[in-house]
Amino acid sequence: METDSTTRTLGRSGIRVSALGFGCWAIGGEWQDADGQPLGWGRVDDEESVRAVRRALDLGVTFFDTADTYGAGHSERVLGRALGKHRDEVVVATKWGNVFDEETRTLTGADDSPAYVRRALTASLRRLGTDHVDLYQLHLSDADPVRAAELRDVCEELVGEGLIRGYGWSTDDPDRAAVFAEGPHCTAVQHTLNVLQDAPRLVALAEELRLAAVNRSPLAMGLLGGRRAAAGAGDIRSRPPAWLPGFGDGAGADAAWVERIEAVRSVLTSEGRTLAQGALAWIWARSPRTIPIPGFRSVAQAEENAGALAKGPLTAEQLAGIVRLRGRWGAPPGRS
């Protein structure tokens, strides 16, 4: 059982990381699919991104999660530059499975072949400026489980070669996550988890199999950070795909989601927390296996998110209060 609320163990690996990780999707900047659908969070200032990563390091954040496809390779490059000589002081996670054109910043497809794993990793290592990745994750959430077992075996080979230290699957399907968990060096499952979108089966799986539950969208794509306005052009939230709830038709936050946020606001903002800090505190209270990875694009966001570490998880009483509120909600609201 964890005793220090500011750090956690990364699953079976024994690697200690900060209880808070930083997700690097947003700092990849703008990119899109072949049909022009935005897949990033809009324009970014790379120099501000570098400053934000380094400020996070100053504030005790030691876990950074990216993917080769974020910004079509740009996020990995920015993260690698920001870490620089501090690379050995942190734990870096990235993902593979998507295929993209770096020059046009366009997602062009997917490749779930065992042969592609090594090619993708080699490219990620080059962009990150490192000789190994600490956590390598399959980014194809609905990949065939039989094929995934082959990919798991390739990951075991990569561990043996010292190119990765552990691996996992980014998926919201517990049955798929369990396939990877059969490998001895599988150390994590990455999945959606926030106070609006619980994932009891995945949290239970992580606890049972001693995996880290790396939690993407801990702030519900900004809703739990107070975002209400419509997103600008180039931001995925301006044209939300079917898998991205909470933003209606792109005109701004969905009223049903805002209502739920307001219902839990007083609990989340107790003890001087901001709404975002309270949302992270809920995740930590949810399970000792959880490691939320909120996104960021500025030093101010990095400071606010990292500030949650000092305040720690919600109390058992506060967690129970939110459980009671959630019990009245029923199924999560869909997009309008």
Taking CA atoms, 82 is separated from 31, 55, 154, in Å, by 21, 10, 30
Supply the pLDDT for residue 326. 85
- The SS3 of residue 312 is coil
pLDDT tens-digit profile of 167-193?
A: 999 999 999 999 999 999 999 999 999
pLDDT tens-digit profile of 290-330?
A: 999 999 999 999 999 999 999 999 999 999 999 998 888 77
Supply the pLDDT for residue 227. 74
Q: What percent of the chain has pLDDT over 90?
A: 85
Residue found by looking up tokens 């592609």 in the block: 116
Query: Average of pLDDT values for 147-170?
Result: 98
Pairing, β 91-96 against β 135-138: parallel
Supply the pLDDT for residue 2. 46
Supply the pLDDT for residue 243. 86
Supply the pLDDT for residue 328. 82
In angstroms, rounded to a whole number, what is the distance separating the alpha carbons of residues 327 and 321? 10
Residue 6 identity = T
Query: Average of pLDDT values for 2-19?
Result: 89
Supply the pLDDT for residue 103. 97
Fold of 7-326: TIM Barrel (3.20.20)
For the chain, the structural domain boundaries read: 7-326
Residue found by looking up tokens 């996992």 in the block: 168
In angstroms, rounded to a whole number, what is the distance separating the alpha carbons of residues 278 and 110? 36
What's the half-sphere exposure (Cβ side, CA atoms, 13 Å) at 125?
A: 16
Query: Average of pLDDT values for 42-63?
Result: 97
Supply the pLDDT for residue 336. 38
Supply the pLDDT for residue 322. 94
pLDDT tens-digit profile of 216-232?
A: 999 999 999 987 766 78
Let me know if 156 is exposed, middle or buried by CB neighbors in 10 A (0-12, 13-18, 19+). middle
